A and B are shown apart, each in its own frame.
Chain A
Amino acid sequence: MAKIHVNTTINGAPTEFLCDANQTLLDVLRDSLGLTGSKEGCGSGDCGACSVMVDGRLVCSCLVLAVETQGAKIDTIEGMAGGDTLHPLQKKFIELAALQCGICTPGFLVASKALLEKNPNPTETEVRYWLAGNLCRCTGYDKIVTAVLEAAAEMREGAR
């Protein structure tokens, strides 16, 4: 079976790749395109380490076939910082030490950014439910939640 040619836009840049019909978006991002920021934790949609945005929706890239993204706009963790300038969420995660081993961090950041774009002023409960599909096995949830809430406050302040 010949490889399938797919055209997408990844982090704003037109990107094309070849894939097999059963290859996941995560596999293509990591293995074909060298975008290794998205991680494979479980491979079954439980851990959220592979979170990316596809056409503005937060999804697990391990549960998306790469071939499905023909014509789609994909945003990954690699597109989050503007050059050397970190996103406020990234800064807060560092400042508050909201990570230990770091494997879950890209997924948490992508998911948190999606939340704040939808709801700039979430409650702690809303943050916890929104991020229920992101697992941290170093178990630093409190610091992560605090970092998201503080980043949200800073971004609201900055938007004034």
Chain B
Amino acid sequence: MSDIQYHAPKTIKEAVKLLAASKGKGRILAGGTDLLVQMKSGAAAPGIIIDVKKIPEMIGVSEKKGAFTIGAATPAAALGEHKKLRKAWPGVVEAVNLIGSTQVQGRASAGGNLCNASPAADSVPALVSAGCVVNIAGPKGKRSVPVEKFNAGPGKTTLKPGEIVVSLTLPARPKKASDAYLRLIPRTEMDIAVVGVGVSLTMKGDTVADARVGLGAVAPTVLLVEKAAKALVGSKLDEAALDAAAAACSAACKPIDDKRGTIKYRTKIAGVLLKRAALIARDRVNGIEHRGHR
């Protein structure tokens, strides 16, 4: 016997109503790769499970005037199979595709990765560097927030009671723009980032016209490192500019010591990965393919 209720609403409105009425006992089910693990360990004991995968806006990828909107519950594998998305945002897609195993990829979503609010979430630094906007629906209507402002701390989001992340929008890309995500883990696959860095660049000739840098696993939330981006803009990604940007990344770190890495190591690696990711993003602008981690 189980006291848990399961609902699979077909509209956002219905889902919001169910969640708001659950008085804090409701949990959103997207891919379930975090929620089910939490339920089994006793870390979560929802009274109502609201499966959002039957809501059209929350599953799939759409494109409008060059901007992509990703349904929050779209499985990671589906994003990897989306050729246009992969071409426009290779860094975002490679980051999403690093979450867990092939089996986990079949279920886990970027929206879930964001709402799980791990400081080491792989997709989030790439989404931050992409300038992603989070589209939210709640009892008081819709609102949107830049992704770097979405999380409040480890396991904590800024969602208000009854609010649901519906989708993620990646802005239209200028020409000669690309991105990259790199993470460091103690093994080659299936581990949690010691540091993760997302870099998005727009080039004008050999010069960086615009840049955004997202930095993960080194602070309570993923950081937008504006000083690192500033150090890259106007440069030709020469050693001095890369060193300055790397130093800005290291300076932004407020990491913890744990079994995966020390404070000192994480702080140094943040700069190292920034340099490598920036060069990969530039290569991609120039049509040179990179396979990222594989």
| Co-complex (A, B) | yes
Question: Do B189 and A20 have beta carbons less than 8 Å apart?
Answer: no
- Residues of A29-49 at the interface with B, using a CB-CB cut-off of 8 Å, are 43-46, 48
Tell whether A132 is near chain B: CB-to-CB under 8 Å. yes
**Distance from A150 Cβ to chain B, minimum over Cβ atoms (Å):** 20
Assess whether A1 is in contact with B5, with CB atoms less than 8 Å apart: yes
Contact B107 A51 (CB under 8 A): no
Contact A22-B104, Cβ < 8 Å, known A44-B40, A45-B37, A65-B36: no
Interface centre among B2, B3, B41, B190 (most CB of A within 10 A): B2
* CB-nearest residue of chain A to B37: A44
Chain A residue numbers with a CB within 8 Å of B3 are 1
Check if B5 sits within 8 Å of A60, measured CB to CB.
no
Task: Known A22-B2, A133-B104; judge A57-B189 contact (CB<8 A).
Answer: no
Shortest Cβ distance from A52 into B: residue? B103
Task: Chain B residues near A1: list those with CB within 8 A.
Answer: 1-5
Query: A64 at interface (Cβ–Cβ under 8 A)?
Result: yes
Q: Are B1 and A58 in contact (CB under 8 A)?
A: no
A-B contact count (CB 8 A): 95
B103 touches A111 (CB 8 A): yes
Contact between A22 and B101, CB atoms less than 8 A apart: no
A111 touches B2 (CB 8 A): no
Q: A1-B2, A21-B2 are in contact. Are A111 and B40 (CB under 8 A)?
A: no
Chain A residue contacts of B49, Cβ below 8 A: 21-22, 65
Chain A residues 84 to 105 lying within 8 A of chain B, measured CB to CB, are none
Q: How many angstroms from the CA of A144 to the CA of B106 in the assembled complex?
A: 22
Q: B100: shortest Cβ distance to chain A, in Å?
A: 7
Expressed in whole angstroms, the minimum distance between the Cβ of A5 and any Cβ of chain B is: 12
Residues of B within 8 A of A114 (CB): 102
Residue ID in chain A nearest B107 by CB atoms: A59
Interface residue count for A (Cβ, 8 Å)?
Answer: 35
Take A45-B33, A58-B106, A59-B107 as given contacts and tell me if A68 and B100 are in contact as well, using a CB distance cutoff of 8 Å: no
Cα–Cα distance between A134 and B100 once the two chains are bound (Å): 11
Q: Least Cβ distance of B243 to chain A in Å?
A: 33
**Pairwise interchain contact B190-A132, C-beta atoms closer than 8 A:** yes
Known: A21-B49, A65-B29, A129-B294. A59 touches B106 (CB 8 A): yes
Is B214 in the interface zone, CB < 8 Å from A?
no
Which residue of chain B is the closest to A54 with respect to CB atoms? Answer: B106
Given that A63-B107, A64-B107 are known contacts, is A132 also in contact with B32, CB under 8 Å in the complex? no
Tell me whether B21 is interfacial, beta carbon within 8 Å.
no
Given contacts A59-B106, A65-B29, A65-B32, contact A45 B101 (CB under 8 A): yes
Least CB distance, A60 to chain B, in whole angstroms = 5
Cα separation A133 to B106 with both chains bound (whole Å): 12
Find out whether the CB atom of A43 lies under 8 angstroms from the CB atom of B40: yes
Q: In the assembled complex, how far is the CB of residue A81 from the closest CB belonging to chain B, in whole angstroms?
A: 22
Chain B residues near A68 (CB-CB < 8 A): 8, 29, 32, 51, 53
Across the interface, do B100 and A20 meet the contact criterion of CB distance under 8 Å? no
Cβ-defined contact, A132 with B2, below 8 A:
no
Q: Considering the complex, which residues of chain A in the window 123-159 have a beta carbon less than 8 Å from any beta carbon of chain B?
A: 125, 129-134
The interface of chain A, by Cβ under 8 A from chain B, is: 1, 4, 20-24, 43-46, 48, 51, 54, 57-60, 62-65, 67-68, 70, 111, 114-115, 125, 129-134
| Chain B residues proximal to chain A, CB less than 8 Å | 1-6, 8, 29, 31-33, 36-37, 39-41, 49, 51, 53, 75, 77, 100-104, 106-107, 189-190, 294
Shortest Cβ-Cβ A-B pairs, 5 listed: A133-B101, A20-B2, A21-B6, A57-B106, A132-B189
Q: Besides A22-B4, A65-B29, A132-B101, 4 other CB < 8 A contacts? A: A44-B37, A63-B103, A68-B29, A130-B102
